[in-house]
Amino acid sequence: MSLTLTIKLHLASPPHFGLTHANKGTTCKTKTFSNTKVGAKPIYSATPLITPLCRVKPRVQCGGMVIKSSLIEPDGGALVDLVVPECVRSSKIVEAEILPKVQLTRIDLEWVHVVGEGWASPLRGFMREDEYLQSLHFNSLRVKGGSVVNMSLPIVLAIDDETKGRVESATHVALVGPDGDYVAILRSIEIYKHSKEERIARTWGTTAPGLPYVEEVITPAGNWLIGGDLEVIKPIKYNDGLDNYRLSPKQLRNEFDKRQADAVFAFQLRNPVHNGHALLMNDTRKRLLDMGYKNPILLLHPLGGFTKADDVPLDVRMEQHSKVLEDGILDPETTIVAIFPSPMHYAGPTEVQWHAKARINAGANFYIVGRDPAGMGHPTEKRDLYDPDHGKKVLSMAPGLEKLNILPFRVAAYDTKENKMAFFDPTRAQDFLFISGTKMRAYAKSGENPPDGFMCPSGWKVLVKYYESLQAEEASQQPVLSST
Amino acid sequence: MSLTLTIKLHLASPPHFGLTHANKGTTCKTKTFSNTKVGAKPIYSATPLITPLCRVKPRVQCGGMVIKSSLIEPDGGALVDLVVPECVRSSKIVEAEILPKVQLTRIDLEWVHVVGEGWASPLRGFMREDEYLQSLHFNSLRVKGGSVVNMSLPIVLAIDDETKGRVESATHVALVGPDGDYVAILRSIEIYKHSKEERIARTWGTTAPGLPYVEEVITPAGNWLIGGDLEVIKPIKYNDGLDNYRLSPKQLRNEFDKRQADAVFAFQLRNPVHNGHALLMNDTRKRLLDMGYKNPILLLHPLGGFTKADDVPLDVRMEQHSKVLEDGILDPETTIVAIFPSPMHYAGPTEVQWHAKARINAGANFYIVGRDPAGMGHPTEKRDLYDPDHGKKVLSMAPGLEKLNILPFRVAAYDTKENKMAFFDPTRAQDFLFISGTKMRAYAKSGENPPDGFMCPSGWKVLVKYYESLQAEEASQQPVLSST
């Protein structure tokens, strides 16, 4: 099965949300919308996953100003927003036209999206060598004033020898999207060696062949990295019917503020939600209420960038998630579903830090971490690539994440006595059935139903339909044996 | 050539230097010597490398008390010293006899030496998993109070399945040296998986076969690591004629204080000293004087633990260094030569942090770093394993090393116009001759003299003699062809 995620740039003018921009020297005096206007033109209206905006009176009202959030502070103190104001967009395109060009892949574009919206705050572009080395060696960056922010994955842009030769004498370059449009300008560039082997070894803790991100992104990439400050020419859109769910950290923060959240707990996932997950999320909310929080909001935050071929594709997952909310397994009143635009590395303990750090920037002060986060099987050995406990251990000790509350995942399994997903009780272990992802896929592929109570039936149907379509596709691709 | 370093445990009672010990619950009331007594019984008298102790009046006098150093603070605030006081030694041996035993290799013993003397302060033993993971992922440890100390290499003790089965139910274990004597007790043990592939990948940034430390230590090691707090039963001695040079961090700090050093600059090396090194060290002293320091002291600090087979062995290097001081190339009045007992990893940017951090604990506040520190050729590709500039870049950004002044190495080469080693002048590049280690070894092996002024003649003779002995040894090991 190949990756079905399609990425297209939206060339038509997207709505402007009146957000202020941190770009130096590019302030606009026109077209500043008030937040009321944002509310009046909800971007989420096409979806049942998020309760309508402005239902709860915003705590902070302002006209044309950034809402001052009382949520957890973004890394570096201020949320980075590198998308240039609409008023200067055309002049940036004119400038891009005369700059040397660097061609982006679809996954490069995902990173422009991620960095441009501030998920990696305070990072303001693709890493220069100092940042790359700190990320590789220390999983963190030292920022002005001496404090440290977490940054466990190198966020870099690779170029080949030909491109290097063409752009290295320039100060700024234009980044060209996969569809040929100008995506961004990269300023004050720095070109340095792409130490692929070292990058892979230090990020994944292995250099074994078969790591999905390595094979898809790093191996085919050029031998140079180009760092610099990003100016994103317009918001990145994919036109896949899911753009409304791609809320930026700023939009999420506004939403949390409007809902008067006093705690935000994030759940990162790249799999369908079963009732064990739901139990965990509902239990977390209960624990937060017990701790004295009045209105904890769940950020159910599926990863939307590159995933490996045998993961369930984003559109199927989103449909499945919507059923979980429609069925009331999760409460839409206290849940926001949005897409995290990052590509997946499958780098276990190193990557889970990135997943958590990015959610701080989106306003989450609690992060749920499970068994073997961002892990996978070892590509060449019959074992997990990472010790399943290392993810949460590393996360709990990671530099720059001290302000985040880590909530370890309690193990849920199917309780055959109660016929529902429940927290595993070791005193009656024999009553519990562990349904792994592989097992779940096997059920869905065979059309067999999992035990009652494993997943809401409408969500389960989404999966069955997906695997049926896959099998139909595979069958149609079987080579026809020529008769002899 | 095989490694010629021999390690033997000194079973006879070594002199006691009246140092106080940090071991909990093991204070001695007897046999506390004053520092004057240490001076009266100099351990360095057999060597011309260090000027006699007490030549300069100690700044701080005390009787039976630890000298309060005004030097840079050790990591964690207090220098760790895990060697138990002599008065409790015999009772520790009695205890060790009844504990489950863990057999040490020669290199394990070097690590007991390193940790026991406080080079790795505030580390108090072999790493438990929390420390191991922090070291692997962040090159640093968070300590009580939230501050961070550098710790780039995992300092761990591996055991095999059989040993694990034998000791895992115990709380404490006895560590047995290669010669069968009780070396230490490891308390409150924790056993966890030895994730060899991950350890290698994250430490070296490669998993290519042929890394010396990996082949010598990690590959043959067991699949488990055992962490715990060390109590070292007696100071580690090697009885190779060089123990007098193995000054502990505490002894070095005392020595710096006695010399009234107001700056200590450390030079880590595992090679013979040529006049380019000497130029650099002398120039550094001059720069420190220009900066206003009154008495900068050089710590010339050859690494004394495991080195790869084609490095010059420690005893030869020490003899060569002694000639450099005898010949006045370096000034004995302002130089201390001592042996750094750590084994070598050849892990480039990761290891140079360890080299620097350990010297902070010994009192150095300046650290000289050159091109490609702790680097080597890639074991399977025709290139340096590390970018030669990464070492000093990583060092300058490393967490926990902020208090250390990093002095980048200026490139010295042989000036064919002046017939001496000089700082490379790019405006007349053609006048300079770069004599690499390989080239130097080729000269020494062939008996050919390097250009005048490359190295002091008496030091050069030491190397020639060594390579001659090697060749003689090789010749004697040639298989004799039987006549037909």
Cβ-based burial of B196 (10 A; exposed 0-12, middle 13-18, buried ≥19): middle
3-class secondary-structure state, position A412? strand
B137, B138, B206 ranked by CB distance to A198: nearest: B206
* Interface contact flag, A205 B205, Cβ < 8 Å: no
- Establish whether the linkage from the previous residue to A373 is cis, with ω within 30° of 0: no
Report the chain B residue with the minimal C-alpha distance to residue A194. B387
Using CA of residue B158, residue B162, residue B163, residue B165, what is the dihedral sign?
A: positive
Give the mean model confidence (pLDDT) for residues A204-231: 98
Average pLDDT, chain B: 86
What are the strands, taking DSSP E only, across A82-127? 101-103, 125-126
pLDDT value of residue B436: 79
Report the chain B residue with the minimal C-alpha distance to residue A140. B138
Give the mean model confidence (pLDDT) for residues B179-207: 98
pLDDT value of residue A28: 57
Report the chain B residue with the minimal C-alpha distance to residue A383. B195
Report the residue of B127, B128, B132, B137 to disrupt the A interface, i.e. the one with the largest count of A CBs within 10 Å. Answer: B137
Q: How many CB atoms lie within 10 A of CB B121?
A: 26
pLDDT value of residue A45: 28
Collect all residues of chain B within an 8 Å Cβ-Cβ radius of residue A397.
130, 133-134, 138, 142
Higher pLDDT, A23 or A328: A328
Closest-CA distance of chain A to residue B137, Å: 7
Same topology for domains A86-232 and A243-473, yes or no?
no
Weakest-pLDDT range from A285-299, A319-333, A347-361, A406-420: A406-420
* Interface contact flag, A133 B197, Cβ < 8 Å: no
**Is it the case that residue B168 has pLDDT exceeding 90?**
yes
**Is it the case that residue B451 has pLDDT exceeding 60?**
yes
- Give A227's pLDDT tier (boundaries 50, 70, 90): very high
3-state secondary structure string across chain B: CCCCCCCCCCCCCCCCCCCCCCCCCCCCCCCCCCHHHHHHCCCCCCCCCCCCCCCCCCCCCCCCCCCCCCCCCCCCCCCCCCECCHHHHHHHHHHHHHCCEEECCHHHHHHHHHHHCCCCCCCCEECCHHHHHHHHHHCEEECHHHCEEECCCCCCCEECHHHHHHHCCCCCEEEECCCCCEEEEEEEEEEEECCHHHHHHHHHCCCCCCCHHHHHHHCCCCCEEEEEEEEECCCCCCCCCCHHHCCCHHHHHHHHHHCCCCEEEEEEECCCCCHHHHHHHHHHHHHHHHCCCCCEEEEEEEECCCCCCCCCCHHHHHHHHHHHHHCCCCCHHHEEECCECCCCCCCHHHHHHHHHHHHHHCCCCEEEECCCCCCCECCCCCCECCCCCHHHHHHHHCCCCCCCEEEECCCEEEECCCCEEEECCHHHHHHEECCCHHHHHHHHHHCCCCCCCCCCHHHHHHHHHHHHHHHHHHHHCCCCCCCC
Collect all residues of chain B within an 8 Å Cβ-Cβ radius of residue A208.
197
Report the chain B residue with the minimal C-alpha distance to residue A207. B207
Collect all residues of chain B within an 8 Å Cβ-Cβ radius of residue A142.
397, 399
* Interface contact flag, B137 A195, Cβ < 8 Å: no
pLDDT value of residue A478: 67
* Interface contact flag, B138 A398, Cβ < 8 Å: yes
pLDDT value of residue A435: 87
Residue B333 sits at φ, ψ, to 5 deg, of -65, -30
Cα separation, B242 vs B305, whole angstroms:
12
A140, A205, A208 ranked by CB distance to B202: nearest: A205
Q: Spell out a b/e string for B334-362, using b for 16 or more CB atoms within 10 Å of the CB, else e.
A: bbbbbbbbbbbbbbbbbbbbbbbbbbbbb
What's the fold here for domain A86-232?
A: Sulfate adenylyltransferase (3.10.400)
- On whether the pTM is more than 0.90, the answer is no
Q: How many secondary structure helices (H) and strands (E) does chain A include?
A: 14, 16
A130, A140, A207 ranked by CB distance to B138: nearest: A140
* Interface contact flag, B133 A397, Cβ < 8 Å: yes
Collect all residues of chain B within an 8 Å Cβ-Cβ radius of residue A350.
137
Class of domain A243-473: alpha beta
* Interface contact flag, B195 A387, Cβ < 8 Å: yes
CA atoms within 13 A on the CB side of A201: 21
Spell out the domain ranges in chain A.
86-232, 243-473
**Is it the case that residue B11 has pLDDT exceeding 60?**
no
Closest CA to B240 of B6, B479, B1: B6
pLDDT value of residue B44: 29
Helix or strand holding residue A301 (H, E): strand A296-302
**Is it the case that residue B40 has pLDDT exceeding 50?**
no
- Report the relative pairing of strands A296-302 and A335-337 from DSSP bridges: parallel
* Interface contact flag, A133 B202, Cβ < 8 Å: no
pLDDT value of residue B19: 28
Q: Are A261 and A295 in contact (CB under 8 A)?
A: yes
Higher pLDDT, B416 or A69: B416
**Is it the case that residue A210 has pLDDT exceeding 50?**
yes
Report the chain A residue with the minimal C-alpha distance to residue B347. A198
From residue A339, give the alpha-carbon distance in Å to each of A156, A248, A267. 22, 9, 11
**Is it the case that residue B111 has pLDDT exceeding 70?**
yes
Query: Any idea which residue has 């290519």 for tokens?
Result: B208
Instruction: Give the model confidence (pLDDT) of B233-276 as tens digits.
Output: 999 999 999 999 999 999 999 999 999 999 999 999 999 999 99
**Is it the case that residue A7 has pLDDT exceeding 70?**
no
Weakest-pLDDT range from B4-18, B164-178, B409-423, B432-446: B4-18
Q: How many CB atoms lie within 10 A of CB B383?
A: 8
* Interface contact flag, B195 A204, Cβ < 8 Å: no
- Establish whether the linkage from the previous residue to B122 is cis, with ω within 30° of 0: yes
Report the residue of A131, A137, A148 to disrupt the B interface, i.e. the one with the largest count of B CBs within 10 Å. Answer: A137
- Report the relative pairing of strands A366-369 and A263-269 from DSSP bridges: parallel
* Interface contact flag, A350 B137, Cβ < 8 Å: yes
pLDDT value of residue A153: 98
| Residue B410 φ/ψ region, left for φ over 0, alpha for ψ in the -120 to 50 degree band, beta for the rest | beta
Collect all residues of chain A within an 8 Å Cβ-Cβ radius of residue B349.
133, 137
Q: Are A266 and A302 in contact (CB under 8 A)?
A: no
What residues of B are in the A interface, CB distance below 8 Å? Answer: 129-130, 133-134, 136-140, 142, 146, 148, 152, 193, 195, 197-198, 201-202, 204-208, 349-350, 386-387, 390, 393-394, 397-399, 402
Instruction: Give the model confidence (pLDDT) of A315-335 as tens digits.
Output: 999 999 999 999 999 999 999
Higher pLDDT, A248 or B7: A248
pLDDT value of residue A21: 35
Collect all residues of chain B within an 8 Å Cβ-Cβ radius of residue A201.
201-202, 204-207
* Interface contact flag, A399 B140, Cβ < 8 Å: yes
Collect all residues of chain A within an 8 Å Cβ-Cβ radius of residue B139.
137-138
Report the residue of B138, B153, B383 to disrupt the A interface, i.e. the one with the largest count of A CBs within 10 Å. Answer: B138
Instruction: Give the model confidence (pLDDT) of A27-62 as tens digits.
Output: 455 433 333 332 222 223 233 344 332 233 333 333
> In the A/B pair of chains, how many CB contacts fall below 8 A?
89
- Give B401's pLDDT tier (boundaries 50, 70, 90): very high
pLDDT value of residue B460: 95
* Interface contact flag, A349 B137, Cβ < 8 Å: yes
Give the mean model confidence (pLDDT) for residues B27-45: 34
Collect all residues of chain B within an 8 Å Cβ-Cβ radius of residue A139.
137-138
Weakest-pLDDT range from A402-416, B3-17, B85-99: B3-17
* Interface contact flag, A198 B205, Cβ < 8 Å: yes
Collect all residues of chain A within an 8 Å Cβ-Cβ radius of residue B382.
none
Collect all residues of chain B within an 8 Å Cβ-Cβ radius of residue A206.
197-198, 201, 207
Q: Which amino acid is at A470?
A: L
* Interface contact flag, A139 B137, Cβ < 8 Å: yes
pLDDT value of residue B409: 81
